[in-house]
Amino acid sequence: MKINKRIFSGSLCAVIAVLLLASCEEEKHISHVPTFEGFQVYVVKDKKLTVDKPSSGDSIVVEAVQSQLGSLLYKAIYKWGIVFRPQGADAVLDTTITKKVVYDSNPVNPRVGLRLPNVGPGYASVSFEAEYSYSATGEMVSSGGNYNDPNTGRYGQITMVNSSQLYGVCRGRASVTVYP
């Protein structure tokens, strides 16, 4: 009888342990890229960033605006392309700038700055690509809207275009009128 009680007690403990382990859910870690709301264009005036219409010769800062931060992202590589074409002329500025950051340690809006050539009015084309390396399993996210409002300084669209288990890519474009 004592042996049956020991077997019963041992079996009961084993069943309780199995139930407890089965009820524990594994925590899911999901990486996702930021959701963007296009580009914000700032004009540098008196060493301060202001929302204004850019003019020929101005120093500007172009910022990819995140409406929702990314999650569990290790490395980010930002590639900016900027082409300035004066009215009725070929491009006088065509540059590519690449920046590498550790996203999770500082998830700020990506920015690039430059001085527009002082050659009169025209158009600046901005292209942007961000490749994020995931720290966990990747997940697709929705994209932001499409913007074109010189009064608020908001332009273009940035969307997620590619994703795998290891990385996610966002791309965007905008055209900005440059005034005389």
C-alpha distances in angstroms, 10 versus 4, 21, 22, 24, 135?
Answer: 10, 17, 18, 22, 42
Question: Which SS3 state, helix, strand or coil, does residue 104 take?
Answer: helix
- Distance separating alpha carbons of residues 127 and 59, to the nearest angstrom: 18
Indicate if the pLDDT at residue 26 is higher than 80: no
Q: 157 pLDDT exceeds 60?
A: yes
Task: Please tell me the least confidently modeled range out of 17-21, 73-77, 93-97.
Answer: 17-21
pLDDT at 137: 81
Does 107 have pLDDT greater than 70?
Answer: yes
Q: If DSSP codes are grouped into helix, strand and coil, which group holds residue 52?
A: coil
Taking alpha carbons only, the member of 21, 53, 39 closest to residue 178 is: 53
Q: Using H for helix, E for strand and C for coil, what is the string for 14-41? A: HHHHHHHHHHCCCCCCEEECCEEEEEEE
All structural domains of the chain: 30-178 (2.60.40)
First to last CA, the chain: 100
Rounded Cα distance between 57 and 47, Å, is 15
Rounded mean pLDDT, 170-177: 93
> How sure is the predictor about 7, in pLDDT bands with cuts at 50, 70 and 90?
low
Give tens-digit pLDDT for 51-68. 999 999 999 999 999 989
What is the spatial distance between Cα 35 and Cα 105, in angstroms, rounded to a whole number? 18
In whole angstroms, what is the distance from residue 128 CA to residue 111 CA? 10
Look at residue 160 in the predicted model and tell me its pLDDT: 86
Q: Measure the CA–CA gap between 55 and 142, rounded to whole angstroms.
A: 34
Structure tokens that stand for 113 in this block: 């700055």
Which two tokens mark 146? 């499409």
Q: Given this model, what pLDDT does residue 11 score? A: 60
Instruction: Output the pTM of the full model.
Output: 0.80
